[in-house]
Amino acid sequence: MNQEQRNQEWIAQRNAEEAKRRERAAECLKDHEYTVLADTEQLKAWRCKAPGSTDYAFDILMTRFGIATVGDIDGLTFSVGLSYGIEFLAGKDIGYYIHSKLEGHCREREFDEDAFRAALVHGVCSQICESTRSDEEYAALPEWMRNDVGPGEAGRWDELCEFVEAKHDSISYGEEGHDFWDGLNDRLEEATCIGSTEEAFSFMSGNYDEFGLGCDYWEIRVDKPRESLINRLYLINHAAKAIVAQQVEDKAA
């Protein structure tokens, strides 16, 4: 599989994940009704709730100074207000744009293993390519290693570890290149066990040169929005879309 195919696979996987989140939100809110609680120039509010149940029930409140959701899905506040309208919450770009308008204290994050491993794959591949001593040795490297890997780099993690281990095992102690491959092999084994943002930053701090991460390694993001937070945003987005559709129906009536 070439890099273009891997990129396409990564995009398809991302789209599938988004579709799965939308389906989950639709299922959770399938019986919800959307009631207008307030509709003034200063305040707009809706109750999103299934009859006879408080499961996933929440209110959406909009004032000049902000937007808030409160209820069974845990509260969130946004730094934009009435001028953005309910259409803002009903927008298409949930993971980036809508998320970007959350107040800072609501932006829960968690360790992103894929981002961490992708950074290491990119850096180690560069180091290996730079360590080759001849054109023949360079040409013998896997094609994916010789080319800049793009989206989905983390998918090369197992291949990289296997390649480094095989090179390490093929060079005896004392032979030229042994220390290089021995160091990479040990560090990759250590990296495999890392499971938190703090551990990842500590690891990169101690190995940024060996892994080709550069002196600005601290700018590499190895965390992402918490999964449960993104799922809540999809619930809010689904409700907002339903409210917009309901408004269109009311105007047409």
pLDDT at 151 exceeding the cut of 60: no
* In a shared domain, residues 73 and 131: no
Q: Tokens for 90?
A: 């009903």
Among 28-32, 63-67, 120-124, 193-197, the least confident range? 120-124
pLDDT at 184 exceeding the cut of 70: yes
- Closest by CA to 120, choosing from 4, 176, 182, 201, is 201
Other beta carbons less than 10 A from residue 32's beta carbon: 21
Classify 104 in phi/psi space as left (phi over 0), alpha (psi -120 to 50) or beta: alpha
How many independent structural domains does the chain possess?
A: 2
Q: Give the whole-angstrom CA distance, residue 243 versus residue 46.
A: 8
* In a shared domain, residues 218 and 244: no
* In a shared domain, residues 150 and 207: yes
Q: What percent of the chain has pLDDT over 70?
A: 94
Q: How confident is the model at residue 6 (pLDDT cuts 50, 70, 90)?
A: low
Q: Contact, 86 vs 243, CB < 8 A?
A: yes
Query: Cβ neighbours of residue 252 under 8 Å, at least 6 residues apart?
Result: none
Specify the pTM.
0.81
Which value, to the nearest 10 degrees, does the dihedral of the CA atoms of residues 236, 239, 240, 243 take? -160
* In a shared domain, residues 69 and 163: no
pLDDT at 1 exceeding the cut of 70: no
* In a shared domain, residues 134 and 157: yes
* In a shared domain, residues 215 and 138: yes
Q: Tokens for 2?
A: 């070439």
Longest CA–CA separation in the chain, Å = 84
3-state SS assignment for residue 69: strand
* In a shared domain, residues 191 and 205: yes
Q: Give the whole-angstrom CA distance, residue 81 versus residue 91.
A: 15
* In a shared domain, residues 198 and 240: no
* In a shared domain, residues 16 and 100: yes
Segments in 132-196 forming alpha helices (H): 135-139, 143-146, 157-170, 178-192
* In a shared domain, residues 65 and 136: no
Domain membership of residue 65 as a residue range? 3-108+227-252
Report the chain's mean pLDDT, rounded to a whole number. 90
